[in-house]
Structure 1
Amino acid sequence: MNTVATQASTRKSVPPVQAKRAAIAKAKALAANVPAHIGSTPATRYRGNPDIFGRLVEDHDHHRALLAMIAATQGHSPERERLFVELVKEVKSHAAAEEQALWSSVMRNPETTDEARHAVAEHKELDELMADLAARDMASPGWLRRFAKLREEYLHHVGEEEQEQFLAAEEHLSENDLRHMREVFNRRKEQEKAEATIEKKLSQ
């Protein structure tokens, strides 16, 4: 049995608070002196779960922490640049792996096609917002204002996934589907992140 399969067969639920703290700690490792106050998060039954949805929420909490930390930085500091690069690579690779592991399958079911299409469309919008930010001077007065829009859009997107879209998708997936999707997601996420680039493109 390979390592991924072994981990999948022995993985257990983690208490939600512990799962959230671990995700935040992962972000803090990049800039220990920058606060990561993510505040309250939408209620979800998936945080800490050993299936695909628990894995996705794990990333969401990591990204929430990165967003909070970027908002706490000033100017074109090394911390802001490092955290922003990590956020872009994280969000892009997460979205690509999520589309391959989850939404590609969910989209084939007529009952959940709309949910999948909506999620994928929002991924593209987030890509455009990040590319616009990457093309601008981090020290300019408008950068944080534009970043605030990205943060708002991202938090809306993941909140919608956790409270609506995952619930709708789960109704049509078996336990084997959920385990397999997590394995696919982990594999694809690693590959996508290794190849992720920072696109710079001003919005119209």
Structure 2
Amino acid sequence: MNIYERLKKDHETQRDLCAKLAETEEGSSERAELWDSLKEELEAHALAEEQVFYSNMMKKTDGTEHARHSVHEHQQMTEMINELDAMDQNADIWTKKFGKLSDRVIHHVDEEEADIFPVARDVIASETANEMTERFNERKKEAVSG
């Protein structure tokens, strides 16, 4: 599995968690559990992606701007996660704010797959892309356990 396939696998998990969380009822234990799972997934994925994938893209002239844009989107999502964490999950405002986060997540992963991966394939050697998968998995595991 190369890095693009590995990242896409995470993206599918993120889409799935967002969809499931959107269907939960206020005050349900399922909402709290899914929220914790989504937060952990997004935070660990972003950290590993920045350290392994985007750090490689930033070394390439044609990849720098795309990498910066995506890292900025990660920062925006982290801010939204922190805001949601400070809110009551039973409040209407939480549900609305989560909807905005979910939209941002979907936009981000769609953009990566449609716009950034093709650029990355041009600037990152396929052998490097294959090697990045193991490092990504290690970094993500460290982020989850750490």
TM-score bracket, shorter-length normalisation = over 0.9
Equivalent residues in 2 for 1:30-41, closer than 5 Å: none
- Same amino acid, percent of matched pairs: 36
Cα RMSD (Å) of the superposition? 0.8
The aligned residue for residue 95 of structure 2 is 144
Counterpart AA for 2:127? N
Matches within 5 A, 1:19-168: 50-168=1-119
Of structures 1 and 2, the one with the larger relative CO (CA 8 A, separation 6+) is: 2
Query: How big is each residue's C-alpha offset from its partner over 1:67-110, in whole Å with a ceiling of 9 and x where there is no partner?
Result: 11111111121100000011001100000000111100110111
Tell which structure's C-alpha radius of gyration is larger: 1
On the 8 A contact 1:76/1:137 being kept in 2, the answer is: no
Structure 2 residue runs of 5 or longer lacking an equivalent are: none
Deviant stretches of 4+, over 4 Å: none
| TM-score after normalising by structure 1 | 0.70
Q: Say whether the 8 Å CA contact 2:48–2:140 is kept in structure 1.
A: yes
TM-score (normalizing by structure 2): 0.97
**Separation of aligned partners in 2, 1:142 and 1:175:** 45
Aligned-partner Cα distance in 1 for 2:27–2:67: 37
Measure, in 2, the Cα distance between the counterparts of 1:187 and 1:179: 14
Asked whether the 8 Å contact 2:84–2:97 carries over to 1, the reply is: yes
**Number of residue-to-residue matches in the alignment:** 146
What code does the residue aligned with 2:23 have? A
More helix by share: 2
Gap regions ≥5 residues in structure 1: 1-49, 196-204
